[in-house]
Every structure is written in structure tokens, then in C-alpha cells.
Amino acid sequence: MAPYGLLIRQARAMRLHDYDTAVVLRFDHWWGAWLAAAAGIPRRIGYYQPEAGPFLTETLPYRASLHEVEQNGTLLASLRQGCP
């Protein structure tokens, strides 16, 4: 149960900062996606994986054929969408 307590405490601490966007750069990091959702961050971007998808508001497909730098560049480029 300790990891879940940590998630709850960290989410509460993150809520104090009023973040508007979270970017989860690891395709397999469902825990980070869950933390961002629990913290109430309204825009949560990451790669679609069945474990992380429910916690994200915007997803991109993960393409294993690309280098991680290219993958993450594509993900970060998606930040421009919906921005003034």
C-alpha cells in the first residue's frame, strides 16, 4: 500500500502548483499518467498504451521503430496544439 500512499501525497503536493499540462515521455509510464490525473492536471499528454490511456487526455501512438529522441520530439510538438 505504501506506493499508493506516496502517489496520493505527491498528487496533493502537485495540486498546490496549479499545473495546466503534464507530459509523460515514457511510453510505459502508467504510474506518471496516473499521478498527473490524480493531481488534477487538466491536460495530460503521452503515448497510448492500454495501462496509461485512461489517465491521459491526449495520446499519440508509440512507434517502436523510431529513436526515443524522435518519439519524444513528436510528443512535445503536440503541445503546440490547443495553445494560443
* Domain carrying residue 74: 2-80
What are the cell numbers at 23?
Answer: 507530459
Q: How far apart are CA 14 and CA 65, in angstroms?
A: 34
- Going by pLDDT thresholds of 50, 70 and 90, the confidence category of residue 78 is confident
pLDDT tens string 21-70: 999 999 888 999 999 999 999 999 999 999 999 999 999 999 989 999 99
For residues 46-80, one letter each, b for 16 or more C-beta atoms within 10 angstroms of the residue's C-beta and e for the rest, the string is bbebeebeebbebbbebeeeeeeeebbeebeeeee
Domains held by the chain: number: 1
For residue 24, which of 65, 63, 71, 82 has the smallest C-alpha distance?
A: 71
Identify the pLDDT of residue 41. Answer: 97
Given a cut of 60, whether residue 73 has pLDDT beyond it is yes
Identify the pLDDT of residue 81. Answer: 74
Strands 43-47 and 58-60: parallel
